[in-house]
Amino acid sequence: MAGLSKLRRVQISGVLVALAFVFKNTSELTAITNLIMLAATVVAGTPILKRAVGALKYKILGIDALVSIAVIGALAIGEYWEAAAVTFLFMLGDYLEARTIEKTRSSIKALLELAPDTARVLRDGAEVEVSPDEVVAGDVVIIRPGEKIPVDGTVLEGTAYVNQAAITGESIPLSKQPEDNVFSGTIIESGYLKVRADRVGEDTTFARILQMVEEAQDKKAETQKFLERFSRYYTPSIIVLAALIYLFSRDLVLALTLLVIACPGALVISAPVSIVAGIGNGARHGVLIKGGEIMEKLGKSKVLAFDKTGTLTVGKPAVTKVKAYNIGEKELLRLAAIGESYSEHPLGRAIIEQAERELGPLTETPDEAELITGHGLKAVIGGETILIGNRKLFADHNVSLAGVEAYLAGEEAKGQTAIIVGNLSGVLGVISIADTVREDAKALIDTVKRLGIAKIAMLTGDNPGTAKSISDQLGIDEYYAELLPQDKVRILNELRTRYGAVAMVGDGVNDAPALASADVGIAIGGAGTDVAMETADVVLMSAQLKQLAHAIGLSRATVRNLKQNIVFALIVAGLLLAGVLVKTVNLSFGMLIHEANVLLVIVNAVRLLGYSAD
Amino acid sequence: MTTKTYQLETLTCPSCLAKIEGALKKTAGVIESEVLFNSSKAKVTFDETVVSSEEIRKTIEALGYKVLGEK
């Protein structure tokens, strides 16, 4: 009897309750009916009573104790049907809640299943299969198509396409070759890799993500703490109320019914189920949100601040404009590219890349070329001397810039680096180069504004021209340029005073102080970066901006879900209390509503698992 | 002093937490206890010379919650 599983108890007592219901309404055999009801009560009620007694030993009055008192009371006054129905409903509710609540936590289980289970390592020249826990740092691991990489490591040999969804949430395979880093838990779709194990077991990024998600799930949100405080007063007040009612009206049934609804189950559970589902959804999309409090803060943030331009730009200069005087634009680009042939300068590389894109591979080389550090270069192409560089270069060679000065100044004000191309007799043209904005950045800014971020700010150490140009292109509301790290902290404080909670996005490495001083610090591209993973409040595993949109959208959806749950639970609790007091709700009906309320709150939270930003 | 994590059956009501935590804290030898609702785990720091891991398990199970594993 004691060994019956929860499900068995629910089934047996369910059948008995149904039987009793039929007998009650059709036959006159009261004794048999009562016996069946009693049996149902014992089957379903034993574990409740056991828990209640166990808790009372430690002077703790839980819902089990309240239900037990109500049921014993009901039996004492001959309300066998109520006793059977209440215990059955309570156990059924408990069982269904366990099943549905598992669902809200299913994301982490799904993640766990991605963990590697075997590893093939080279030991004394031979391949041996071992458990991933037995791999030590420095081992050489071999991974074939379809297999999971069991360690964080560096590719020694081979090439492969690797699906990194377990880490980044991004399932488009990435190409990996020698020197590249690979992560534990990711899968080789095609190809073959020999990897040197750098981190193994619990130290791998994958293992740490799992651990962080698990910890995050149980970090309480502010709302949750408040609800727990509330319920600490709610339950005893209802018990006192029940006692008072019995004392004054001698209405035992009413008093017992109050006990059954005294536990604000749905209210207490409303916040944690939403939070756990939200965090689980994030984890599956490469967004690690470290706890309920952070989820709430992010969901309520008003300002999104980007630390430095690099997050929004490609981070690599590119030619944005070619202006030619007296020669064709293509010819100008060709000359400049040939001149830069031997240059390793990033600006020179940008010119060559643009020329090859427009004109095809370059075959010509300059007759001679001389790099003049800080000024540019002087090359001889087809017998003609060509100057490529800044104002100083042209001043040194006494070439006048009078005709183009206005244009140069205009370009520079737009944040462009203007490279002047000319010969010894005059200027041939100007090539503008700048870091370009990321293609997904514009879409991101639009999305987060739609999601309810009131102000978007950019804090950068770059010059004002570059900052303005980028913020104009993207529709950023405010930019602050030429900042030192300590300035950023001050500006964040100003933004907070003016608009409200600030979420700050950065790489989590160079900008740790700024991220720490924001209400929510978001590190982008955090996979594999220890500092970012440890210190940021929210870690976006990949460098993709759409993960940022997902994080912000998800946090808002979670906060919304949580509010729906609280409001719903409060309304039902209020109606239930009123219903009991005016005697339209009896013992078993009260229990039914109570359990249904809890279930609905959980089911609402499960919806969050399907949230998607696009 | 040892810290162990016990995996419990799925916890469904947060008030169970208070109950398990409270009971553990009142157990002699237990220095610290934290019950995690969502992961359904109990983290317990205890003095091995006073109380055994087995006794802690029994305490939790006596309250009506199955212990599925420990580490």
Q: Which of B10, B37, B64 lies at the smallest CB-CB distance from A102?
A: B10
Q: Which residue of A has its CA nearest to B60?
A: A54
Q: If pLDDT is split at 50, 70 and 90, which confidence band does A202 have?
A: confident
What does the pLDDT read at residue A99? Answer: 86
Sort out which chain A residues have CB atoms less than 8 A from B38's CB and list them: 105, 217-218, 272, 276
Q: What's the confidence (pLDDT) of residue A7?
A: 86
Alpha-carbon distance of A156 to A142, in angstroms, equals 10
pLDDT at A614 over 80: no
Number of helices and strands in chain B (H, E): 2, 4
A486-529 per-position pLDDT tens digit: 788 899 999 999 999 999 998 777 777 888 889 999 998 877 77
User: What is the Cα–Cα distance from A10 to A227, expressed in whole angstroms?
Assistant: 30
CA A240/CA A256 separation, integer angstroms: 12
Structure tokens of A180? 């590249």
* % of chain A beyond a pLDDT of 70: 99
Which among A98, A263, A276 is the nearest to B38, CB-wise? A276
Residue B49 to chain A, least CA–CA distance (Å): 22
A50 at B interface, C-beta within 8 A: yes
Q: Supply the CATH number for residue B40's domain.
A: 3.30.70.100
What per-residue confidence (pLDDT) applies to B45? 92
For residue A589, the one-letter residue type is F
What DSSP designation does A134 have? G
* Residue contact B22–A263, C-beta within 8 A: no
CB distance from A609 to chain B under 8 Å? no
3-state DSSP call for residue A26?
helix
Closest partner CB to A60 (pick from B9, B22, B39): B22
Least confident range of A207-221, A288-302, A442-456, A565-579: A207-221
- Put simply, whether A214 touches B (Cβ < 8 Å) is yes
Which residues from B are below 8 Å from A59, CB to CB?
26
- Is A307 catalytic? The answer is yes
**Are A55 and B19 a contacting pair at CB < 8 A?**
yes
Torsion of CA A547, A553, A555, A561, to 10 degrees: -140
Rg (CA), chain A: 34
Query: Closest approach of chain B CAs to the CA of A555, in angstroms?
Result: 18
| Annotated catalytic residue within A64, A94, A152, A307 | A307
Q: What is the ipTM of this complex?
A: 0.82
Residue of A nearest to B25 (CA): A58
Task: Name the pLDDT band for A2 (thresholds 50, 70, 90).
Answer: low
The backbone region for A586, taken as left when phi is positive above 0, alpha when psi lies in -120 to 50, beta otherwise, is beta
d(CA A315, CA A465): 16
Do residues B11 and B37 touch, judged by C-beta distance below 8 A? yes
Contact B64 A94 (CB under 8 A): no
Facing residue for B62 by CB, picked from A54, A62, A64: A54
Is A433 part of the contact surface with chain B (CB cutoff 8 Å)? no
**Mean pLDDT over all residues of chain A?**
88
Q: Mark yes or no for CB contact B14/A268 under 8 Å.
A: yes
Say whether B13 and A97 touch across the interface (CB within 8 A). Answer: yes
Nearest CA distance, B38 vs chain A (angstrom): 6
The per-residue pLDDT for A142 is 93
Hey, are the CB atoms on B36 and A47 less than 8 Å from each other? no
Token readout for A527 is 């996979």
Strand partners for A430: A323, A420
Using a CB-CB distance cutoff of 8 angstroms, which residues of chain B are in contact with residue A94?
12
B13/A263 Cβ within 8 A: yes
Closest to A548 measured CA to CA, from A504, A605, A607: A504
Taking each helix axis as running N to C, give the angle between helix A30-57 and helix B14-25, from 0 to 180 degrees, rounded to the nearest 10: 50
Give the chain B residue nearest A213 (alpha carbons). Answer: B39
Residue A263: list chain B partners with CB under 8 A: 13, 15
For A365-381, write each residue's pLDDT tens digit. 888 888 888 888 999 99
A23-32, A346-355, A549-558 — most confident range = A549-558
In this prediction, residue A1 has a pLDDT band, given cuts at 50, 70 and 90, of very low
Residue A153 tokens, joined:
């490591």
Task: Kindly tell me if the per-residue pLDDT of A309 is higher than 70.
Answer: no
Query: What is the phi/psi pair of residue A225, to 5°?
Result: -60, -40
- In this complex, the residue of A51, A59, A231 whose CB is nearest that of residue B64 is A51
Q: Which chain A residues are closer than 8 Å to B22 by Cβ?
A: 58, 60
**What tens digit of pLDDT does each residue of A107-153 get?**
878 888 888 888 999 988 888 999 988 899 999 999 999 899 999 99
Q: Is the pLDDT of residue A159 over 60?
A: yes
B26–A218 C-beta distance less than 8 A: no
Using the Cβ of A263 and the Cβ atoms of chain B, whether some distance falls under 8 Å is answered with yes
Q: Which residues in chain B have their CB less than 8 angstroms from residue A4's CB?
A: none
**Number of domains present in the structure of chain B:** 1
Q: Which helix (H) or strand (E) holds A71?
A: helix A63-76
Chain pair A-B, CB pairs under 8 angstroms: 67
Inter-chain touch A101–B12, beta carbons under 8 Å: yes
- Asked if A229 has any chain B CB less than 8 Å from its own CB, the reply is no
Cβ distance A58 to B39 less than 8 Å, yes or no, reads no
Q: What is the mean pLDDT of residues A163-167?
A: 85
Give the global pTM.
0.81
Q: What is the mean pLDDT of residues A431-441?
A: 87
Check residue B21 and give its pLDDT.
Answer: 86
CA distance B60 to chain A (A): 9
Nearest CA in chain A to B64: A51
Mean pLDDT of A14-42: 86
Angle at A439 (CA atoms; ends A438, A442), nearest 5 degrees: 90
Q: Which residue of A has its CA nearest to B36?
A: A218
Q: Is the pLDDT of residue A170 over 80?
A: no
Enter the tokens of residue A454.
Answer: 């009131």
Of chain B, the end-to-end C-alpha distance in Å amounts to 15
Q: Which strand ranges, in their side-by-side order, compose the sheet holding A287-289?
A: A287-289, A538-540, A520-524, A502-506, A303-307, A455-459, A478-480
Q: Chain B, 2-61: which have a CB under 8 Å from a chain A CB?
A: 9-10, 12-16, 18-19, 22-23, 26, 36-39
Burial of A25 (0-12, 13-18, 19+ CB in 10 A): exposed
Residues of chain B with Cβ-Cβ distance to A54 below 8 Å are: 23, 62-64
Check CB contact under 8 Å for A54 and B18: no
Can you read off the two tokens belonging to residue A427?
Answer: 């200027």
Q: What is the pLDDT of residues B19-48, one digit of tens each?
A: 888 888 888 899 988 888 888 889 999 998
Indicate whether A51 pLDDT > 70: yes
Contact A60 B16 (CB under 8 A): no
User: DSSP assignment, residue A148?
Assistant: B
Q: Which domain holds residue B16?
A: 2-70
Name every chain A residue with its beta carbon within 8 A of the beta carbon of B26. 58-59
- How many CB atoms are closer than 10 A to CB A31? 7
